[in-house]
Amino acid sequence: MGKRPPTLAMKRTAAKQKGRPQYGAKRALIVKAVGPALQRHGLSGTTIEAIANVAGLDRATVYYYFPDKSSIFREAIHDGLAELTAGLEEVAASGTTAEVKIAASMRAVMSAYEKHYPQLYIFFTNGDRSSIIDANLNSEIVASGQRFEEFVETIIREGNAQGIFQTPLPPKVFAKAIAGMLNGTARWFAPGGTLSADQVADGMSRMILNGVLLPGRPT
Q: Is 216 exposed, middle or buried (0-12, 13-18, 19+ CB in 10 A)?
A: exposed
pLDDT beneath 50, residues of the chain: 1-2, 17
Instruction: For residue 165, give the 3-state DSSP assignment.
Output: strand
Q: What does the pLDDT read at residue 42?
A: 86
Q: At what angle do helices 8-18 and 21-32 cross, to 10 degrees?
A: 110
Indicate where the chain has its CATH 1.10.357.10 domain(s). 69-219
Neighbours of 120 (CB within 10 A): 25
Write the pLDDT tens digit of every residue in 24-82: 899 999 999 999 999 999 888 899 999 999 999 999 999 999 999 889 999 999 999 99
- C-alpha distances (whole Å) from 203 to each of 60, 96, 108, 120, 172 are 45, 20, 14, 21, 22
The CATH H-level (homologous superfamily) assignment of domain 8-67 is Homeodomain-like (1.10.10.60)
Q: What does the pLDDT read at residue 6?
A: 55
CATH class for the region spanning 69-219? mainly alpha
The number of angstroms, rounded, from the C-alpha of 210 to the middle of its chain's C-alpha atoms is: 27
Contact by Cβ (8 Å): 109, 84: yes
Q: What does the pLDDT read at residue 114?
A: 96
Distance CA 197, CA 205 (A): 12
Among 79, 100, 101, which Cα is nearest to 88's?
Answer: 101
- C-alpha distances (whole Å) from 112 to each of 66, 75, 81, 106, 209 are 24, 15, 8, 10, 22
pTM, two decimal places: 0.83
Indicate where the chain has its CATH 1.10.10.60 domain(s). 8-67
Contact by Cβ (8 Å): 137, 81: no
